[in-house]
């Protein structure tokens, strides 16, 4: 707000009150300590899901060309995607079934998603949308850790030692990875194909498919893979 237009006031304005419930998912909103704005903290809130995916795909993040607000909205509403990791499982046929999506534009989206696998660790950290972690901080953090695995297992104390990283930032990062168990690319050692997943899903896979070890390999060169060794 730049200036309050007092001369425009009629005396009938209602005082603006922050809603107690999220207008989209109806969950109770909370005001985090020290913050002026109430937030919906429901991780499954459709508005938040859309926001996270839009941010992830945005130009300065993973730069997924063609994946804009309208398309994300349609995909989430139709249940095609629910999380950024779902993007990497999309099939051209699924996209071309959506409204205003020709075969060629669907292929362009798939190509853009595949290209995004080569973004730097810094962009990837920024794209995750961790609270208090903007582009600048993402850059500083990515210089400190050799790969995503290092960041995911970092303690608040380790993070605070990074210049310009304060307690809010370090706490946000640790909370984020504790909640989501992180994201990463897995690489099947047989097919050599990189797949984007939640790391907590990998843990499930470890149980189900007897994966004996995995290693996050998302270094400075960009997100490459988590090596998954499967005992068959
Ligand atoms: Zn909500």
Q: Residue 163, CB half-sphere, CA atoms under 13 Å: how many? A: 4
Domains and CATH numbers, the chain: 46-118 (1.10.150.20), 121-180 (1.10.150.20), 183-230 (no CATH)
CA of 105 to the centre of ligand 1 (A): 31
CA of 118 to the centre of ligand 1 (A): 32
pLDDT value for 60: 95
At residue 101, φ and ψ (nearest 5 deg) are -125, 105
pLDDT value for 184: 54
* Eight-class DSSP state of 160: H
pLDDT value for 4: 45
pLDDT value for 8: 52
pLDDT value for 224: 35
CA of 21 to the centre of ligand 1 (A): 8
What gap in Å lies between CA 163 and CA 160, rounded to an integer? 7
CA of 155 to the centre of ligand 1 (A): 29
pTM: 0.71
What gap in Å lies between CA 171 and CA 28, rounded to an integer? 23
Per-10-residue mean pLDDT of the chain, 232 residues long, equals 46 57 85 76 83 93 94 92 82 90 93 86 88 94 82 91 95 81 50 50 45 35 35 28
* Eight-class DSSP state of 25: T
What gap in Å lies between CA 79 and CA 59, rounded to an integer? 24
* DSSP bridge pairs for 39: 30
pLDDT value for 18: 56
CA of 44 to the centre of ligand 1 (A): 8
pLDDT value for 190: 53
Strands 183-188 and 194-198: antiparallel
């Amino acid at each position: 707000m730049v200036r309050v237009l007092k001369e425009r006031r009629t005396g009938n304005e209602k005082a603006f009150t922050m809603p107690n419930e999220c207008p989209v998912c109806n969950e109770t909103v909370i005001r985090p300590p020290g913050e002026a704005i109430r937030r919906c903290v429901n991780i499954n809130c459709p508005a938040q899901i859309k926001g996270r995916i839009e941010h992830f795909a945005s130009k300065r993040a993973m730069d997924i060309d063609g994946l804009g607000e309208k398309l994300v909205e349609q995909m989430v509403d139709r249940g095609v995607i629910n999380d950024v990791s779902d993007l990497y499982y999309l099939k051209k046929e699924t996209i071309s079934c959506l409204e205003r999506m020709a075969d060629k534009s669907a292929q362009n989206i798939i190509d853009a998603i595949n290209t995004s696998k080569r973004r730097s660790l810094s962009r990837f950290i920024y794209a995750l949308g961790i609270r208090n972690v903007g582009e600048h901080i993402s850059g500083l953090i990515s210089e400190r850790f050799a790969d995503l695995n290092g960041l995911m297992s970092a303690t608040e104390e380790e993070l605070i030692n990074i210049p310009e990283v304060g307690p809010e930032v370090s706490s946000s990062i640790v909370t984020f990875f504790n909640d989501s168990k992180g994201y990463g690319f897995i690489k099947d050692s047989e097919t050599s194909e990189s797949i984007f997943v939640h790391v907590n899903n990998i843990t499930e896979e470890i149980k189900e498919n007897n994966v004996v070890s995995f290693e996050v390999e998302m270094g400075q060169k960009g997100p490459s893979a988590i090596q998954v060794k499967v005992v068959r």
